[in-house]
């Protein structure tokens, strides 16, 4: 791992007092690295530019914001998914404010996250949690486009995941595809699933979708001490809701 403060301190110390100076400079630089959480030159440039180091929860929402904005427009489903992630993490009000700020920061795409993810690589459970949240965000608007997939694959690579592992993880969140021949019947079924009709206003359809998604999200079920079977059932229900909402939205031509 690269410790920029340590290297700078050692170099400066050597220039001033040879080897003893290098040793003392390295110790002081290492203390600075730890205090400022510096693991790369990119992070050092961020700090010098006045940008604070990202905490793990902030890093997650920076990534989610980057995904949401990756195709140029943040959809309503992305916003709802970000809120759902906050609820699943049971965030306090100050933590939610930090998460919202990080999400908005992520939309700019200016943060260099590679060094942060390489640090997170040593925490397999946390790495998997981040990637799962990223796939949920990618599918929040009913589809995961190439830009979103490319970002997740790149971040997964930095976290030490293989393409095969990432694809297997993606399959947990990808909505099931319906046969084209059954689209007419599927539309009526989609209306039934969301509890709306063919004349329901788009705004009311969106509210129904959000309400049901919040109620049945697998992370919310898992957090209440549900069994693995119940979590799987909630995951299937969430996919069903995604499918239904996507089909109705396409049929009624609204976003």
Q: How many domains does the chain have?
A: 3
As a whole number of Å, the CA-based R_g of the chain is 22
1-14 pLDDT, tens per residue? 455 556 565 566 55
Does 160 share its domain with 76? yes
User: Whole-angstrom Cα distance, residue 175 to residue 208?
Assistant: 18
- In this prediction, what percent of the chain has a pLDDT beyond 70? 71
Q: Does the structure show a pLDDT above 80 at 28?
A: no
Do residues 86 and 11 share a domain?
Answer: no
Q: State whether the Cα torsion 188-196-200-71 is positive or negative.
A: negative
Is the predicted pLDDT of residue 242 greater than 80, yes or no? yes
Q: What is the CATH number of the domain that holds 133?
A: 1.10.3680
* Residue 54: strand, helix, or coil: coil
Final residue in a domain of this structure, among 145, 171, 197: 171
| CA–CA gap between residue 220 and residue 228 (Å, rounded) | 13
Residue 72 sits in the same domain as residue 41:
no
Please tell me the least confidently modeled range out of 3-17, 81-95, 165-179: 3-17
Q: Are residues 95 and 60 in the same domain?
A: yes
Shared domain for 150 and 184, answered yes or no, is: no
The least confident of 26-35, 154-163, 218-227 is 26-35
Full residue range of the structural domain in which residue 24 is found: 4-48
* 62 and 41 housed in the same domain: no
Query: Quick one: DSSP state of residue 217?
Result: -
pLDDT at 24 over 80: no
- Of the residues 119, 139, 171, which one is the last residue of a structural domain? 171
**72 and 146 part of one domain:** yes
Are residues 191 and 246 located together in one domain of the fold? Answer: yes
**Same domain for 236 and 140:** no
- Does the predicted TM-score (pTM) go above 0.95? no
pLDDT of residue 226: 64
> Are 208 and 233 within one domain?
yes
Over residues 198-207, mean pLDDT: 91
Among 247, 173, 255, 241, residue whose Cα is nearest residue 208:
241
- Domain CATH code at residue 232: 1.10.287
Instruction: Tell me if residue 141 falls in helix, strand or coil.
Output: coil
Last residue of a domain, one of 17, 32, 48: 48
Residue 101 confidence (pLDDT): 93
């Amino acid at each position: 791992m690269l410790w920029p403060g340590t290297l700078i301190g050692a170099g400066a110390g050597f220039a001033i007092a040879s080897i003893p100076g290098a040793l003392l400079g390295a110790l002081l630089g290492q203390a600075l690295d730890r205090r400022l959480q510096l693991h790369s030159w990119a992070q050092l440039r961020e700090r010098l530019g006045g940008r604070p180091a990202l905490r793990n929860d902030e890093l997650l929402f920076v990534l989610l914001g980057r995904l949401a904005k990756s195709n140029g427009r943040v959809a309503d489903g992305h916003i709802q998914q970000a809120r759902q992630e906050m609820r699943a993490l049971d965030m306090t009000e100050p933590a939610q404010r930090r998460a919202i700020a990080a999400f908005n920061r992520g939309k700019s795409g200016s943060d260099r996250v590679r060094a942060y993810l390489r640090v997170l690589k040593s925490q397999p459970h946390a790495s998997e949690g981040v990637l799962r949240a990223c796939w949920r965000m990618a599918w929040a608007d009913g589809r995961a486009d190439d830009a979103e997939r490319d970002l997740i694959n790149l971040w997964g690579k930095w976290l030490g995941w293989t393409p095969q592992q990432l694809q297997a993880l993606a399959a947990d969140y990808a909505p099931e595809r319906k046969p084209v021949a059954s689209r007419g019947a599927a539309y009526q079924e989609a209306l039934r699933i969301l509890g709306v009709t063919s004349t329901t206003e788009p705004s009311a359809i969106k509210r129904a979708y959000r309400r049901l998604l919040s109620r049945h999200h697998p992370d919310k079920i898992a957090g209440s001490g549900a069994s693995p079977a119940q979590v799987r059932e909630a995951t299937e229900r969430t996919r069903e809701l995604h499918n239904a909402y996507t089909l109705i939205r396409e049929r009624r031509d609204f976003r």
